[in-house]
Amino acid sequence: MDAIATYALRLGDDSLILGQRLGEWCGHAPALEVDLSLANVALDQVGQATHFLALAGEIEGKGRDGDKLAFHRDVMDFTNCLLVEQPNGDFAQTIARQFLFSHYQELLFAALMASKDARFAAIAAKAVKEVTYHATLASDWVVRLGDGTEESRARMVEGLEWMWRFADELFAMDDVDAAAFAAGVGVDKAALREPWDQRIDAVLADATLERPAARRPVLGGRSGRHSEHLGHLLSDMQFLQRAYPGATW
Amino acid sequence: MDAIATYALRLGDDSLILGQRLGEWCGHAPALEVDLSLANVALDQVGQATHFLALAGEIEGKGRDGDKLAFHRDVMDFTNCLLVEQPNGDFAQTIARQFLFSHYQELLFAALMASKDARFAAIAAKAVKEVTYHATLASDWVVRLGDGTEESRARMVEGLEWMWRFADELFAMDDVDAAAFAAGVGVDKAALREPWDQRIDAVLADATLERPAARRPVLGGRSGRHSEHLGHLLSDMQFLQRAYPGATW
């Protein structure tokens, strides 16, 4: 795949894997309202994934459609960031992941709307409204849990501790990102870091929480070096298509 | 619970259990498009459930809210019809269940919009738009699978065979239904049978499928006599709330 196709693939993979993770909450959330809101976020993410993956397949031009890319790639060919594949854990851990990622996604899609490639710009323009809501939802929960009971606060702190080391990867620029940016198609993700930090810090202050201590960042998702968690997710997600290729019954 | 509260509970239970069942497809559907559409239907159903269950709790007046009714009742206290608790099986079986139920729900909610109780009428007015779409979606799939390959047709026939014996219960009127209808709150479900039959037959004709042979109907869901399938569904759905009552972390 060339850089622009890979760029679309990465955007699609981030949304697809996060959507799958959130879908695991379906019917297991602690309250009906939570079940509904997580399912709504999951749906938005899978919807974004279908658009970006279809675009990746179109740019690649080898006849792979979104389903082919979602269901017939091996774990090492997935290009999602490590943050989105992290396990749900408890609700606070899920919210921590969503909080860090949705603010990134909101800044990213807002910038991507200015892409010279109208296809990227159009998907971003639709998706930015969705992820703005996700960021608000997750921020509200961070405050509610962080500034809540002793138990909920402890769990929120633990959730943020878990997810924090995967934040740096969101803003890392490699050759693909640089090429997409140079072509006027992609976003300078490094420039998103400062506004992201400001947003995160403001919410954490509201939640009376400390920003987790800096950690050695964990990278590698973009080049296919994933945690074991992704393998389990994919074997679950891809089972039906792998067992019965192309079947829809 | 009095008849009107029970009537709301039944409507809520039908939607809740169907929503949970459909949620089991999350991330396991045969294609991204299917995953999205089943998840959308699941969301609509759980949304309807939250409204009807909250109303049931309100009419009961004993301080039980929708979450309490969803997560803290035993299997024998669930009043859903047996159709919605049937296992997903393959995609064709899921579609068969959805097809029979959504056409019923569409006719039911269209009639319920005329309820003298404005609360029932309001929920029905919102929900009827949702279930009209579900009925169309399911009908399209019945035709696509029924009039498709030999394999998809055989599976669609099997799916309809499985679900057919649970259709009569949808239209059965017991004391609760009669009381709700007499009070001008509920619907005469028996009167929905004929238009339902016409709709089902028209779609089956399009799908080049025969109507399954009449069976001895299986009843009992409304009075808590459920299949073993519901117990498994509830233990899964209620685990978190039972283990950690009231927790949202």
pTM: 0.91
User: pLDDT tens across A160-182, in order?
Assistant: 999 999 999 999 999 999 999 99
Looking at the predicted structure, is the pLDDT value of residue A95 above 90? yes
- Indicate the residue of A24, A67, A249 with minimum beta-carbon distance to B92: A249
Cβ neighbours of B234 in A, within 8 Å = none
Decide if B23 and A20 are in contact by the 8 Å CB cutoff.
no
pLDDT at B129: 97
Residue of B nearest to A24 (CA): B26
CB of B43 closer than 8 Å to CB of B19: yes
Domain of residue A98 covers: 3-243
CB of A25 closer than 8 Å to CB of B237: no
Cβ neighbours of B39 in A, within 8 Å = 23, 26, 39, 42-43, 46
Cβ neighbours of B54 in A, within 8 Å = none
In a domain, B248, yes or no: no
Decide if A32 and B42 are in contact by the 8 Å CB cutoff.
no
In a domain, B231, yes or no: yes
Domain count of the fold of chain B:
1
Decide if A28 and B92 are in contact by the 8 Å CB cutoff.
no
User: pLDDT tens across B213-237, in order?
Assistant: 988 999 999 999 999 999 999 998 9
pLDDT at B157: 98
CB of A179 closer than 8 Å to CB of A198: no
DSSP B115-171: -SSHHHHHHHHHHHHHHHHHHHHHHHHHHHHHTS-HHHHHHHHHHHHHHHTTSHHHH
Looking at the predicted structure, is the pLDDT value of residue A5 above 80? yes
User: pLDDT tens across A29-51, in order?
Assistant: 888 989 899 999 999 999 999 99
Decide if B67 and A92 are in contact by the 8 Å CB cutoff.
no
List the one residue out of A94, A119, A98 whose CA is nearest residue A12: A119
CB of A49 closer than 8 Å to CB of A123: no
Cβ neighbours of A248 in B, within 8 Å = 30-31, 34, 91, 145, 152
Smallest CA–CA separation between A236 and chain B, in Å? 7
Give per-residue burial for B127-141: e unless 16+ CB within 10 Å, then b.
Answer: bbebbbbbbebbbbb
In a domain, B82, yes or no: yes
Give the CATH number of the domain where residue A95 resides.
1.20.1260.10
Decide if B46 and A33 are in contact by the 8 Å CB cutoff.
no
CA atoms within 13 A on the CB side of B205: 6
Looking at the predicted structure, is the pLDDT value of residue A246 above 80? no
Residue of B nearest to A239 (CA): B28
Count of helices and strands (H, E) across chain A: 11, 0
In percent, how much of chain A has pLDDT > 70? Answer: 100
In a domain, B249, yes or no: no
In a domain, B212, yes or no: yes
Per-residue pLDDT band at A244 (split at 50, 70, 90):
confident
User: pLDDT tens across B45-85, in order?
Assistant: 999 999 999 999 999 999 999 999 999 999 999 999 999 99
In a domain, A88, yes or no: yes
State chain B's mean pLDDT as an integer: 95
pLDDT along chain B (249 residues), means of 10: 97 97 87 91 96 98 95 96 97 97 98 98 98 98 96 97 97 98 98 98 98 93 95 90 76
Give per-residue burial for A31-50: e unless 16+ CB within 10 Å, then b.
Answer: bbebbbbbbbbbbbbbbbbb
Decide if A248 and B156 are in contact by the 8 Å CB cutoff.
no
In a domain, A248, yes or no: no
